Amino acid sequence: MGTFENQRSRAYVGVDGAIASAAFDFILDRLSFVPGTTTVAFGARAGNMWAIYQGSDKVTRDFVGVTAPVFGADGRPVYGAQTDKLWAVYSGSGDKLSPDFDELGARMQTLRRQAPCLQGASEQIVVHLGRPQEGIAVFRWLQDPVFVPGRERVIYSAPASGGTVLMSGNEKLSQAFLAIGQIRVSSDGRYVAYDAEAGAGSARRRHFIMVNGRRQPPTLTGRSTFGSRMAGSSSLLPMTTPSGRSYTRGSAYKG
């Protein structure tokens, strides 16, 4: 599966070497299969307008810009889209799921959660990275958010005085570091690990892994990246703030 162009600079989606879409002026790189099918979903531009397509079928209305789609609990595409100068998260053909933003990150994820009051029902939560409209913004930038399973909380890193801190909702979870790299959350939501950098001057900078606010030995002098495996372990501490308080606050926009 991929994108390619012909001699007339028209873009197509290809699956196993065969053309699997109509021709477009531009196709976003990130492609995905429609769940349960071999049809490819993607964002593309035809003329001056953008939309979400599934194969050769246009499945949304026209927008000024779009992000690559992901799929929600109901099987419909979820995507970021721009109307006029503002961005928002949309579902299906154009159902708005979020407030307006000045900017919206290209990466987002949808999660399925069982509604406690309706047996068998599902409620969709969309986690995305956005810059609110002027007067609402809190941070200059944010790292892509990580959702904490089962707790309706989002972990992310953000700028602070003296460096970068780990955040959950509006709560600061760590001291300030020079940089925070990858963030990982265990499958049960109890443990948060991240790659951090600290130290004054390039010669004294150190990389290390933090788990729930505690440094995990050894300290490294080179680049370190937390692996994808995060099984629960009795050697890890319960999730707490640096001051030792447990925390439950967080935020995710509910579609």
The residue with greater pLDDT, 183 or 255, is 183
Tally the domains of the chain. 2
End-of-domain residue from the set 109, 131, 153: 131
**Domain ends where: 131, 148, 170?**
131
Same domain, 126 and 236: no
Residue 122's DSSP bridge partners are 114
Whether residue 139 has pLDDT greater than 60: no
Domain assignment present for 163:
yes
**Is 175 found in the same domain as 230?**
yes
For the four alpha carbons of 47, 53, 55 and 57, in that order, the dihedral sign comes to negative
Q: Which domain holds residue 171?
A: 138-242
Residue 88 confidence (pLDDT) above 70 = yes
Please state which of the ranges 207-211, 225-229, 247-251 shows the lowest mean pLDDT.
247-251
**Cis ω before 218 (30° cut-off from 0):** yes
Q: Are residues 64 and 89 in the same domain?
A: yes
- State residue 58's pLDDT score: 93
Q: What is the pLDDT of residues 30-78, one digit of tens each?
A: 888 888 888 888 999 988 999 999 988 999 999 999 988 888 767 788 8
pLDDT tens digits along 169-202? 667 888 888 888 888 888 777 888 888 888 766 5
In this prediction, residue 59 carries a pLDDT of 94
Both 233 and 168 in one domain: the answer is yes
DSSP for 120-137 reads T-EEEEEEEEEEEPTTT-
Q: Which residues contact 254 (CB under 8 A, 6 or more apart)?
A: 123, 124, 125, 126
Of the candidates 107, 131, 155, which is a domain's last residue? 131
Q: Are residues 100 and 76 part of one domain?
A: yes
Q: Are residues 51 and 18 in the same domain?
A: yes
